[in-house]
């Protein structure tokens, strides 16, 4: 049988309804890692859904407890065909964000897959159950068509990605020998656009910080004390205003990338970002001047205010408040020192007279920026494989605009990283009515079957 046969077999699982039926079984397991009630389901997802499926494909599987107390377990699996063959690592996460049951529209439930036209609704359909199911289904099709894979493959399924992947780095350090591979090929995140195959090779980093101005005990009447007492809400507002200009361009030198490399510029020159029909319009004048929209998201840093509180907005009173606080976030690309993000902000505030503003990093959801050069042989090999399957040049992103635990693969395990997303920006992945699009899943099944097939052929980088 041929490469085309494997691709057709993978895609036929969606056409026949078998893929949808299996995804429905995965969605029905309520794997909320952000709520304690989800803990039993996390273990069940690995033991009852993933383990039997992988063992049926000839994988040796084991469930590994998380070294972080209270965090979800991991599944590690391996299918080995030969010491002289390339080895690939693939990854997925079985956990989801909170279900938000009461916010889904009538007729939909987060734990029941509902098919409406080209949409498959349910929690995890896009993030990430549907995506790693695509990859496993395509792998199965290649194995059936060829009788073997022609490469070795290792699998990690975690159950805590939506809480910041606690314990993943520790697992990789402890299991380095069992997880080392020539390349990571996995799927998460969205495509650049629903109609264009996309590859990304890393992720922007992220640091979230809490800012606060705490001046005194208790609020005081604004009529009696207005003009006499410093207002923490105004102080914090002015402190925030000095971080960027009026259009959001970052002013802190340590937070500004030196430049965009030629290979990154060349990759991004091919990309156009268009707001989805269901999304907001792009504010063309916002952000770093002189950059294209793609360069702003994938090649530069951005700062945002996630929340701002002074007093009780629901019940305001005529009083000068004693304190104000904000949660802020920097998304950053390779070249920004992750460990200097908060210290740089501290120095900037001090230099501008805002020494009364406290800066504190939050405990979780910090990521280091990673990027595989778009000219890397692995990146070019994967792009050629996808183009051969689809007949279209894929969008090549040096890194995702968001953040993933990619540093654990790139830095701890030290491997090139290739991500092939099977979702799109309008999928509502962290909101009510999460859904996957059947045309993307079908194309993804074909692309992944092509990639898995090509890994067993001559011409793999480094072989």
Q: What are phi and psi of 447, to 5 degrees?
A: -60, -45
Is 173's pLDDT higher than 70? yes
Closest CA to 78 of 174, 176, 182, 153: 153
Residues 406/203, Cβ–Cβ less than 8 Å: yes
User: Could you report the per-residue pLDDT of 429-439, keeping only the tens digit for each?
Assistant: 999 999 999 99
DSSP E strands in 125-204: the ranges are: 152-158, 183-186, 198-200, 202-203
Mapping DSSP to helix (H, G, I), strand (E, B) and coil, where does residue 398 land? Answer: coil
82 is written with which tokens? Answer: 């030969």
> Please, what sign has the CA dihedral across residues 34, 37, 39, 41?
negative
User: Could you report the per-residue pLDDT of 384-411, keeping only the tens digit for each?
Assistant: 999 999 999 999 999 999 888 899 999 9
| Whole-number Å distance between alpha carbons of 458 and 383 | 16
278 is written with which tokens? Answer: 């269901």
3-state SS, 319-374, equals: EECCEEEEEEEEEECCCCCHHHHHHHHHHHHHHCCCCCCEEEECCCCCECCEECCC
How wide is the angle at C-alpha 185 spanned by C-alphas 184 and 190, nearest 5°? Answer: 125
Going by pLDDT thresholds of 50, 70 and 90, the confidence category of residue 153 is very high
Q: Determine the average pLDDT of the residues in 180-184.
A: 97
Q: Determine the average pLDDT of the residues in 110-131.
A: 98
Closest CA to 192 of 385, 358, 456, 440: 440
| Whole-number Å distance between alpha carbons of 82 and 146 | 16
Residues 66/165, Cβ–Cβ less than 8 Å: no
pLDDT for 372 equals 96
Predicted TM-score of the model (pTM): 0.91
> Please, what sign has the CA dihedral across residues 73, 79, 80, 86?
negative
User: Could you report the per-residue pLDDT of 47-95, keeping only the tens digit for each?
Assistant: 999 999 999 999 999 999 999 999 999 999 999 999 999 999 999 999 9
pLDDT for 278 equals 67
Q: Which domains are present in the chain?
A: 3-203+368-455 (3.40.630.10), 205-257+301-361 (3.30.70.360)
Going by pLDDT thresholds of 50, 70 and 90, the confidence category of residue 221 is very high
Q: Determine the average pLDDT of the residues in 205-223.
A: 96
Is 463's pLDDT higher than 70? no
130 is written with which tokens? Answer: 């549907």
140 is written with which tokens? Answer: 């199965």
Give the least confident one: 215-224, 256-265, 380-389, 390-399: 256-265
Going by pLDDT thresholds of 50, 70 and 90, the confidence category of residue 462 is confident
Is 226's pLDDT higher than 80? yes
User: Could you report the per-residue pLDDT of 266-311, keeping only the tens digit for each?
Assistant: 999 989 887 766 668 889 899 999 999 999 999 999 999 999 999 9
The count of other CB atoms within 10 Å of the CB of residue 414 is 10
| Whole-number Å distance between alpha carbons of 24 and 17 | 11
pLDDT for 274 equals 73
Strand order in the sheet with 358-361: 302-310, 323-332, 205-214, 358-361
pLDDT for 164 equals 87
């Amino acid at each position: 049988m041929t490469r085309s046969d494997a691709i057709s077999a993978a895609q036929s699982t969606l056409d026949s309804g078998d893929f949808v039926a299996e995804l429905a079984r995965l969605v029905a397991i309520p794997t909320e890692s952000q709520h304690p009630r989800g803990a039993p389901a996390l273990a069940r997802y690995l033991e009852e859904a993933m383990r039997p499926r992988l063992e049926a494909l000839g994988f040796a599987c084991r469930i590994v407890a998380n070294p972080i107390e209270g965090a979800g377990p991991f599944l590690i699996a391996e299918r080995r065909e030969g010491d002289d063959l390339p080895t690939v690592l693939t990854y997925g996460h079985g956990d989801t964000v909170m279900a938000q049951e009461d916010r889904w529209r009538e007729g939909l439930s987060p734990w029941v897959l509902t098919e409406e036209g080209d949409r498959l609704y349910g929690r995890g359909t896009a993030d990430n159950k549907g995506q790693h199911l695509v990859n496993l289904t395509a792998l199965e099709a290649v194995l059936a068509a060829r009788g073997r894979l022609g490469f070795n493959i290792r699998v990690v399924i975690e159950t805590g990605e939506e809480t910041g992947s606690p314990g993943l780095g520790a697992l990789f350090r402890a299991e380095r020998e069992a997880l080392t591979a020539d390349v990571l090929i996995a799927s998460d995140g969205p495509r650049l656009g629903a109609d264009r195959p996309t590859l990304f090779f890393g992720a922007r980093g992220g640091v979230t910080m809490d800012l606060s101005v705490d001046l005194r005990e208790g609020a005081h009447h604004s009529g009696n004390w207005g003009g006499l007492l410093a207002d923490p809400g105004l102080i914090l507002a002015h402190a925030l205003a000095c971080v960027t200009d009026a259009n959001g361009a970052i002013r802190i030198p340590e937070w500004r990338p030196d430049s965009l490399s030629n290979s990154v510029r060349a990759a991004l020159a091919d990309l156009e970002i268009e707001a989805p029909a269901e999304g907001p319009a792009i504010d063309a004048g916002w952000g770093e001047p002189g950059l294209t929209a793609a360069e702003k998201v994938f090649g530069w840093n951005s700062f945002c205010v996630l929340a701002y509180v002074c007093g009780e907005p629901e019940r305001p009173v005529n009083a000068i408040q004693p304190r104000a606080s904000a949660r802020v976030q920097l998304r950053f690309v390779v070249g920004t020192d992750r460990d200097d993000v908060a210290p740089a902000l501290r120095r900037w505030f001090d230099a501008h007279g805002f020494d009364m503003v406290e800066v504190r990093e939050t405990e979780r959801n910090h990521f280091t920026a990673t990027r595989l050069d778009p000219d890397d042989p692995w990146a070019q090999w994967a792009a050629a494989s996808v183009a051969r399957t689809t007949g279209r040049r894929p969008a090549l992103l040096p890194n995702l605009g968001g953040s993933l635990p990619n540093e654990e693969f790139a830095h701890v395990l030290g491997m090139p990283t290739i991500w092939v997303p099977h979702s799109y920006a309008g999928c509502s992945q962290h909101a009510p009515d999460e859904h996957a699009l059947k045309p993307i899943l079908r194309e993804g099944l074909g692309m992944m079957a092509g990639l898995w097939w090509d890994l067993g052929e001559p011409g793999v980088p480094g072989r």
